[in-house]
């Protein structure tokens, strides 16, 4: 995504919330932890100044794919906390991306983890296509 968009990658800790105002499009993403993005990213979203006319996109990796139903569990809410925070700061969230990520949480760690090798080559291709669509 960063190559396609010619974008700098920064951790929340490296990011001054004020400086994000200078960009027309900002992507926010992390793994999903307990059905939300990483707390450091949610904290950054809380510190963002109010903006007008700025676009954002959201991405994540997770054990269960976003928008899938596994064990009767609907995962589409994984992006909700971050999306609502960004929208409340005035960002228009134009698109969202998710793919599976390697997980060793809970019982899965005992069996060497689940979703080994994810994101894989195909996931990265989808991420690239997603970024190309954003750019267009």
Ligand X SMILES: Cc1cc2nc3c(=O)[nH]c(=O)nc-3n(C[C@H](O)[C@H](O)[C@H](O)COP(=O)(O)O)c2cc1C
Q: Which residue is nearest to ligand X (CB)?
A: 101
Q: Which of these ranges, 2-10, 30-38, 44-52, 87-95, lies near ligand X under the rule CB under 6 A? A: 30-38
Question: Would you count residue 103 as binding ligand X (CB under 6 A)?
Answer: yes
Least separation in angstroms between CB 132 and ligand X? 23
Per residue, the 3-state secondary structure of the chain, as one string, reads CHHHHCCCCCCHHHCCHHHHHHCCEEEEEEEEECCEECHHHHHHHHHCCCCCCEEEEEEEEECCCCCCEECCEECHHHHHHHHHHHHHCCEEEEEEEEEECCECCHHHHHHCCECCCCCCHHHHHHHHHHHHHHHC
Question: Would you count residue 98 as binding ligand X (CB under 6 A)?
Answer: no
Q: Which residues bind ligand X (CB under 6 A)?
A: 31-35, 61-64, 101-103, 105
């Amino acid at each position: 995504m960063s190559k396609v968009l010619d974008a700098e990658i920064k951790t929340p800790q490296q990011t001054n919330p004020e400086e994000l105002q200078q960009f027309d499009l900002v992507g926010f993403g992390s793994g999903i932890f307990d059905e939300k993005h990483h707390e450091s990213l949610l904290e950054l979203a809380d510190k963002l100044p109010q903006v007008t006319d700025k676009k954002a996109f959201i991405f994540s990796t997770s054990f269960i794919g976003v928008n899938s139903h596994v064990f009767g569990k609907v995962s589409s809410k994984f992006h909700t906390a971050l999306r609502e925070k960004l929208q409340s700061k005035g960002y228009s969230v134009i698109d969202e991306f998710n793919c599976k990520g390697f997980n060793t949480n809970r019982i899965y760690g005992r069996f060497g983890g689940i979703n080994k090798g994810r994101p894989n080559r195909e996931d990265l291709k989808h991420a690239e296509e997603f970024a190309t669509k954003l750019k267009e």
